[in-house]
Structure 1
Amino acid sequence: MTILLVEDDESIAIVITAALEAEGFSVVRCDSIVERDRLLATQEFSALVTDVMLTDGDGIETLGRVREMHPDLPVIVLSAQNTLDTAVRASDTGAFEYFPKPFDIDELVRTVRQAAGSQGASLGGGVDEGPGQGLPLVGRSASMQAVYRMITRVLRNDLTVLILGESGTGKELVAEAIHQLGHRQKGPFVAVNTAAIPADLIESELFGHEKGAFTGAVARHIGKFEQAAGGTLFLDEIGDMPMQAQTRLLRALQSGSIRRVGGRDEVSIDTRIVAATNKDLEPMIAAGQFREDLYYRLNVVPIHLPPLRERADDIAALARHFLALAATEGLPRRRLAPEAEAMLMRQPWRGNVRELRNFIYRLALLAREDVIDEAALEPMLASAARAEEQVDIPLDLNSAVERWLGEHNPPPGTVYDAALAAFERPLFNRILAVTGGNQLRAAQMLGINRNTLRKRLGELSIDPDSFLRRP
């Protein structure tokens, strides 16, 4: 089998050629689009391996001519640009695979072997409209390249996606990218923070309700599933969803239909589901706090977002990106000196990208010079560190309530129920853990009636059996 390699970097071309020839392939090399087209017009090849930036143009933009000559020729794209835009462009051309540089040569060889035997399969599933622009996914680190490649694999299908990552890593941005770049981009993108909705209202919010379904239901309400018809429903913080709502969600995913609260009719749903969580769901499954069958329904395509500490190489690019965004929002236009960028890269950023963004905006506002150097940056970082230490100091109950209200901002009319549930849930979990799930002893410790405890455990979707002590 003969492979056409289009690469203008001589050292990379030599390594790829040697690796492919060692596997029994015959390799024809060139370094330009003109020479590529001449060879394709006169010879047959089993696969094409091409760089993006070539001596006479863009290797992706000119792949249309390759498709005209050889519609079934598998194409593998190599690129040092390493952005989501490049990955999506490669997918939109029907490329068999996309490899950001630097890549694993053994993985490339395995992929070429698969491509040479596939004749026409592609990672994108077909050519579609061009990618959306301005998506705030920034980074060229190896870990972000893995994220980009996973995104390209789900753009042309409706597989359910579960985005995993710490708070502040940008899970909603990934969900928006999947929506905006995918075939449902003309439909609505509806985001729901399931942790911010009181347990007794979450089913109504997701599935809607009929007039008279409960006290206060004065009219029919269309839920988020129906609002997202034709588009994408993003379920954030899915790990905090109450058990009863998990059951309803599972049924909806299995049947492809929902029933409004208080309603009798089944309503077909036409929406893609993307869920996200900052929690490890598997221990929650073992503790009976999350349904295992729902987990496997959601975890069809997992996308793991790396914390910022694992992609330090992206920090300077992110900082420049946020400074540019700040300028578009009316803040002074600033620039970071190289030594200041290096200092930012050495910080831990426990709040991940969200923390970095907030810091950069504050820096743009308070800096006295247009070019921010190391001397100007150091006191700002020290001030941020002191503020972080203060946040970590144990709070009294009054401060904790004020902080919770500021972070969650529950809708009017739900503040008391939401705050009470937020207080009772960890309290009951702690007492049940102490009593090994014994509700009578737990009620005695709390000083409340056992029936009252049982009622609240049901309302909070807390399973006391999950606290039973086993040998």
Structure 2
Amino acid sequence: MMNSPQVIYLCEQNNERRQRFETVLTFIGERVTVLPAIDELADHDDVLCVIAGSGVNDLSEHAKSKPAIPFIAAAESHQPALNRANVIGPIDANVDYQELSRWLHYCHSYHRNLAERHGSQNHKTGKLESLLIGQGSAIQSIRKMIAQVASSDANVLVLGESGTGKEVVARGIHSLSNRKDGPFVPVNCGAIPGDLLESELFGHEKGAFTGAIGTRKGRFELAQGGTLFLDEIGDMPLAMQVKLLRVLQERTFERVGGAKSIKADVRVVAATHRQLESMINEGKFREDLFYRLNVFPIDVPALRERQEDVPLLLQELTARFKKERGVGVRFTGKALESLSLHRWPGNVRELSNLIERLTIMHPDQLVDVSDLPPKYQHIDHPRVEPEYPDELLEREALNSIFADDEDEPDADTAAINSELPDDGVNLKDMLSELETAMIKQALDKADGVVAKAAELLGMRRTTLVEKMKKYQIK
């Protein structure tokens, strides 16, 4: 990770003004290098900014030739240069500590934003975009925080509702860290009984307890040189919280039943959907452990707080299903609009489950609003049933009647004669009666199971349900 630039270059020909700037900058702890002439400014990585005073000719041209360096205009003659993004000011020789600090803060921000856009963190954000899908400001803020903390070994606490992707955040931190070549070991603290959690985390020696027939490494040992992800840390029993705190403080642990200290070369990322500060007040979570874990908190937003990302998530998740399982699903514009209005209480996990469900119901098909489960239908969009030609309906209906010569026609179909009466017939009414009779027979054969009846009739279950509503068949 590139170090932040720290040196301020001062180019001021007036001795009194130069000394004034040097005094103020030195007082606030800044490193200052005096330039006799602006032309002597080289392309150094350590340049925080250049304070350009009197004696600097045509600051606009200098700023244009070095867009990666912010310039602070310290002379009235530099007023035309202020239209450039990397030129700020003006300031005068009587500048005080507060005003100069504000300008220097701008210079730090300029470098940071420039690096995020074009510099050293581009490879990081590229990786994160493949993990954290979305273009909204909320998810971009999360990516930025991950990139900032990844290169350190600071403990991270990931907060957020269930299904928001807290483990995805943890994996993003690991993949961008110096430990990326080491293991990423997740453990769900809420899924392991309290009396087994100690052995799960720290391992045990042979004979440490009944059933310990051999030595076993715990998750801390398995994560050596890498990252240990402690999911649902809020569900960890108090007794285990004490032991975890000791490991985090001393960076050593012992296996259950053992006396040998093992160094914990592990970066810990914890996550929870619980309100830990409320649990502290209730005596259910240790305050000292909270502050040990909460070095760098990342609060993952709920999906309802980033509704603009729903279409992009749908596109990405359906593509993944298509790649992994060979079957996908597509959405009409109205279906996307309806899904974008859903509140997603289950967050991204709920969205993923919905897509899996739809790929089963409508494999490689185009899904409209009416095909969505009822709770996802947030806009009025009537179902469009195809109208088949009467000849096709008649032929299919008659084929289904006489498909099995061994079956005797029942009372519902006996009245239907295949010969046209002399006075004609209302074919639509006749077909409706025939369709009603076939549906009733299929339901009888299927013992009332609609899905099985739909199979017997060679149609989709949803189509059969609509026809049952149409003909008022219970």
Q: Could you say which TM-score interval applies, normalised by the shorter chain?
A: 0.5 to 0.7
1:349 to 344, 347, 364: 344
Q: Give the match for residue 144 of structure 1.
A: 139
Q: Cα gap change, 1:27/1:336 in structure 2, threshold over 3 Å: closer, same or farther?
A: farther
Alpha-carbon deviation of 1:380? 7.7
Q: Give the match for residue 70 of structure 2.
A: 46
1:287 to 262, 282, 285: 282
| Kept in 2: contact 1:47–1:115 (CA 8 A) | no
Paired amino acid for 1:39: S
Give TM-score, length-normalised by structure 2.
0.56
**Is it true that 1:112 corresponds to 2:106 in the alignment?**
yes
| Kept in 1: contact 2:251–2:264 (CA 8 A) | yes
In the aligned structure 2, how far is the partner of 1:321 from the partner of 1:44?
35
Give SS of 2:314's match.
Answer: helix
| Kept in 2: contact 1:209–1:221 (CA 8 A) | yes
Query: How many aligned residue pairs are there?
Result: 294
For residues 307-386 of structure 1, the aligned pairs below 5 Å read: 307-367=302-362, 370-377=365-372, 379=374, 381=376
2:243 to 227, 244, 248: 248
Alpha-carbon deviation of 1:192? 0.2
Give SS of 1:196's match.
Answer: coil
| Kept in 2: contact 1:363–1:380 (CA 8 A) | no
Deviation per CA, 1:256-291, whole angstroms, max 9, x where unpaired?
Answer: 111111111111011100000000001111111110
Paired amino acid for 2:65: L
Aligned CA-pair RMSD = 3.6
**Is it true that 1:196 corresponds to 2:196 in the alignment?**
no
In the aligned structure 2, how far is the partner of 1:271 from the partner of 1:370?
47
Q: Give the match for residue 175 of structure 1.
A: 170
In the aligned structure 1, how far is the partner of 2:306 from the partner of 2:230?
26
Q: Cα gap change, 1:226/1:338 in structure 2, threshold over 3 Å: closer, same or farther?
A: same
Structure of larger gyration radius: 2
In the aligned structure 1, how far is the partner of 2:240 from the partner of 2:71?
49
Paired amino acid for 1:178: I
Alpha-carbon deviation of 1:128? 8.5
Give TM-score, length-normalised by structure 1.
0.56
Q: Give the match for residue 94 of structure 2.
A: none
Q: Cα gap change, 1:334/1:268 in structure 2, threshold over 3 Å: closer, same or farther?
A: same
Deviation per CA, 1:87-108, whole angstroms, max 9, x where unpaired?
Answer: xxxxxxxxxxxxxxxxxxxxx9
Alpha-carbon deviation of 1:334? 2.6
Give SS of 1:175's match.
Answer: helix
In the aligned structure 2, how far is the partner of 1:154 from the partner of 1:272?
12
| Kept in 2: contact 1:331–1:365 (CA 8 A) | no
Q: Cα gap change, 1:368/1:287 in structure 2, threshold over 3 Å: closer, same or farther?
A: closer
2:254 to 248, 255, 259: 259
Alpha-carbon deviation of 1:379? 4.8
| Kept in 2: contact 1:135–1:177 (CA 8 A) | no
Q: Give the match for residue 222 of structure 1.
A: 217
Paired amino acid for 1:287: E
Paired amino acid for 1:114: H
In the aligned structure 1, how far is the partner of 2:351 from the partner of 2:377?
14
Give SS of 2:304's match.
Answer: helix
Identity %: 44
Alpha-carbon deviation of 1:136? 2.9
Alpha-carbon deviation of 1:365? 2.4
Paired amino acid for 1:274: V
In the aligned structure 2, how far is the partner of 1:343 from the partner of 1:194?
37
